[in-house]
Amino acid sequence: MVIVIHCTDEVGLVATISSVLANAGYNIISMREHVDVDENKFFARLVVNSILNPVEIEKQLLSVLPKNALVKVNPQPEKSIVVLVTKEYHCLTDILTRNHFKTLGAHVSCVIGNHPDLENITQRFQIPFKLVSHENKTKEQFETELQDLIKPYNPDYLVLAKFMRILSPTFIRSFPLQIINIHHSFLPAFIGASPYKQAYKRGVKIIGATAHFVTNDLDEGPIITQKITPVNHSFSLQDLIKAGRENETSALAKAMQLVFEDRVFVYSNKTVVFE
């Protein structure tokens, strides 16, 4: 059982939390904590033996923690996700393979694409595929159709596995800090379109990928994880793209693992990550 806590820092918090759990008869198997001194914020992730009444423990913790503390006692470790795609297959196939062998840490409820290209590979894994074309529609119409398909699944997270559409603030507000994106660049460098071409022209010595939460600021949401590969003058543009795709797959997989295991805290457009 995982407990995550985010609150204002004060003296004795670790002792206070430990006392609540000990008095209830629960054993702490592991505990990670971090204090942001500048922001005066406290973060903790605890693993305890099975909790019989998560609601009661959450209530007890909230009663002794600072005002406006955020506490989540997680009785359901496996999350549910909906994956959004366009045409590129590398991230999706990695997700589907992990899902098939139950190593994803979540269940893929559905894959939604704005092109039909990845329907076949999705159905091979016996996962529903839904097509929502963006052509000849306003952004509002497209996103309304998208939300209508997503809502019945009530996912914990949406994963943008190379979903090459910019989502509106209205759509993003419907899924606050629930949308995980993989960006084909080592952010904040080379944001926007054609980052590998930008990197190639600049003569970079590393190529990277960034997994982050989606916010209203394009490609500037809180970063979950990043991966890099050293490159040099001998790399062609296609070499950079190939290396980049490997980074994208790896970074997205790592980010999903961290998020699904409740290891990521978001504040002030940045993250605390307990790996």
Quick count: other Cβ atoms within 10 Å of Cβ 199?
Answer: 25
Distance separating alpha carbons of residues 184 and 196, to the nearest angstrom: 8
Half-sphere exposure of 249 (CA within 13 A, CB side): 16
Catalytic residue among 36, 38, 217, 219: 219
Do 206 and 268 have their domain in common? Answer: yes
Q: Kind of pairing, strands 270-273 and 206-213?
A: unpaired
pLDDT at residue 220, as a whole number: 83
CA distances, 188 to each of 147, 183, 217, 221 (Å)? 29, 10, 12, 10
Do 137 and 235 have their domain in common? Answer: yes
pLDDT at residue 192, as a whole number: 63
**What pTM does this model have?**
0.91
Distance separating alpha carbons of residues 32 and 128, to the nearest angstrom: 38
pLDDT at residue 188, as a whole number: 56
Model confidence at 60: pLDDT above 80: yes
Which of helix, strand or coil describes residue 160? strand
Do 123 and 177 have their domain in common? Answer: yes
Contact, 34 vs 6, CB < 8 A?
A: no
What kind and span of H or E run contains 102?
Answer: none
Domain count, the chain: 2
Do 89 and 212 have their domain in common? Answer: yes
- Mind listing the pLDDT tens digit for each residue in 76-98? 678 999 999 999 999 999 999 99
Boundary (domain end) residue, out of 23, 53, 74: 74
Distance separating alpha carbons of residues 147 and 77, to the nearest angstrom: 25
Distance separating alpha carbons of residues 263 and 244, to the nearest angstrom: 25
Do 101 and 20 have their domain in common? Answer: no
- Mind listing the pLDDT tens digit for each residue in 109-128? 999 999 999 999 999 999 99
Boundary (domain end) residue, out of 74, 97, 123: 74
Does the active-site annotation cover 36? no
Do 67 and 138 have their domain in common? Answer: no
Domain that holds residue 211: 79-273
pLDDT at residue 219, as a whole number: 75
Distance separating alpha carbons of residues 239 and 234, to the nearest angstrom: 9
Do 224 and 204 have their domain in common? Answer: yes
Which of helix, strand or coil describes residue 174? coil
Query: Which CATH number do you get for residue 25?
Result: 3.30.70.260
Of 108, 118, 110, the closest CA to residue 86 belongs to 118
Which of helix, strand or coil describes residue 156? coil
Boundary (domain end) residue, out of 74, 107, 129: 74
Do 109 and 157 have their domain in common? Answer: yes
Query: Residue 233 — pLDDT band, cuts 50, 70, 90?
Result: confident
Do 139 and 263 have their domain in common? Answer: yes
Q: At what angle are helices 195-202 and 237-260 packed, to 10 degrees?
A: 130
Do 119 and 238 have their domain in common? Answer: yes
Torsion of CA 125, 129, 134, 140, to 10 degrees: -120
Do 18 and 99 have their domain in common? Answer: no
Output DSSP code: residue 50.
P
Which of helix, strand or coil describes residue 236? coil
Do 148 and 69 have their domain in common? Answer: no
